[in-house]
Amino acid sequence: MTLNVHLNANANNVRVGVVGLGYVGLPLAVEFGKRYPTIGFDINGERVAELLAGRDSSLEVEPDDLRGATHLSYTESAAEIADCNVYIVTVPTPIDAHKSPDLGPLESASRMLGGVIAPGDVVVYESTVYPGATEEVCVPLIEQVSGLRYNHDFYVGYSPERINPGDKEHRLTTIKKVTSGSTPETASFVDALYRSIITAGTHLASSIRVAEAAKVIENTQRDVNIALINELALIFNRLGLDTQEVLEAAGSKWNFLPFRPGLVGGHCIGVDPYYLTHKAQAIGYHPEIILAGRRLNDSMGAYVVKQVIKLMTHRGCLSSGSRVLILGLTFKENCPDLRNTRVVDIVAEFKEYGIVCDVHDPWVNPDAARHEYGIELIDEPAPGTYDAVILAVAHRQFSDLGVARIRGFGKPKAVLYDVKQLFPKDQVDGRL
């Protein structure tokens, strides 16, 4: 049996179902929905309802773009996507409490598709996984539920997501897309499908495993590079050197890479390396550099707290009743994305010292902060209240406030610590 779908001049036979409408799935559904009949599916009824009302709480897609996807509809019913012939899976692939891959959402999506897929259909996975996961984990579940045979009755592609939340310059259509397929015909189809919406073009990998590996090392490389800079920051602090000054001096050379120290969270950089190391250990290899980088990056929240405590001690503002204000909770600036934010490490570490933290973030839905991390956000910090203020995320609102107003949240001797190097070093008391 061959594919029952192909691209032609009118593309009348392509019907796309996007499974998962988060930061990755929604932009994808919108772009496909401008050209092809497309249904966006999500198990979260509230998410579907807001999209039906023309709102996107992730702020990744503008209302005009939502309206411009004239062929796009939304549903929380699996039965309503059964008429599609191309399914694209964009569900989360997080890690569990033991830092092992949590494939639960991916497995659930695969079982669900096994119940709706028809002979000749194509399933494309975009979720980040270790090399081999698509064909070793997902495909058998589809076969088991559907009774169909892989590469005989249905076909699979893999095109890893490259969404950068909050980035208004590098968008879905302007980032080159890696594609792959389980047969040469499938690979050609998947590549042509994405080329029809990605203006930056595509890179057709030779196999699904190559495409999976390419994705997982993209962020592993960044993670290791940031770990190096974080370690340099620890060294320079002991030497009495300002890390930012050193990096600016080194950056005057044309081939010095512009990484900066900081908290490493988010849906990719703080997660993807664990998928690769999991697979490496499964085949008998213990990664050294990758895991060392992960340990160092995961320790930076505790390091920040140690530095702030030291400054508070020197200022004489550390006591059993000390209060700390943390500005920012998201994993990066100017977006509401809370996934795997490492700001929570700072909150937890202060709690170990018995110090109460208030957290303020104008980008975050308070219900989301409460649900994900049990953190109650404050609306507006009260002036003159805190013994230390930590600028944890470089939101533009904090930049607009300026140092004087931010210092005003603290008491006269309060410490101002700048995790993100947003302000000049002579205007703060400490920074990474």
Which of 165, 157, 122, 121 lies closest to 25 in space, CA to CA? Answer: 165
Alpha-carbon distances, residue 248 vs 229, 253, 419 (angstroms) = 12, 10, 17
Provide the 8-state DSSP code for 136. Answer: I
In sequence order, the β-bridge partners of residue 95 are 101
Task: Please tell me the distance from the alpha carbon of residue 241 to that of residue 231, in angstroms, as a whole number.
Answer: 13
Q: Is residue 109 within 8 Å of residue 41, measured between CB atoms?
A: no
Other CB atoms within 10 A of residue 6 CB: 14
Q: Is residue 388 within 8 Å of residue 410, measured between CB atoms?
A: yes
Count Cα atoms within 13 angstroms, Cβ side, for 38: 25
Task: Please tell me the distance from the alpha carbon of residue 95 to that of residue 266, in angstroms, as a whole number.
Answer: 12
Cα-based torsion angle of the residue sequence 324, 330, 331, 332 in order, rounded to the nearest 10 degrees: -100
Q: Which two tokens stand for residue 248?
A: 């600016």
Other CB atoms within 10 A of residue 150 CB: 16
Which of 386, 380, 393 lies closest to 407 in space, CA to CA? Answer: 386
Q: Which of 268, 317, 335, 357 is catalytic?
A: 268
Which of 390, 388, 394, 401 lies closest to 420 in space, CA to CA? Answer: 394
Taking the alpha carbons of 392, 393, 397, 398 in that order, is the dihedral positive or negative? positive
Give backbone dihedrals phi and psi of 322, rounded to 5 degrees, phi first.
-60, 145
Q: Which two tokens stand for residue 106?
A: 């991916």
Contact partners, residue 13, CB within 8 Å, separation at least 6? 5, 6, 85
Where in 126-260 does DSSP place strands (E)? Answer: 155-158, 177-179, 202-204
Task: Work out the end-to-end distance of the chain between its first and last CA atoms, rounded to an integer number of angstroms.
Answer: 59
Task: Please tell me the distance from the alpha carbon of residue 374 to that of residue 47, in angstroms, as a whole number.
Answer: 21
Provide the 8-state DSSP code for 390. Answer: E
Which of 309, 413, 406 lies closest to 354 in space, CA to CA? Answer: 309
Active site annotation includes 317: no
In this structure, which amino acid lies at residue 210?
V
Active site residues: 268
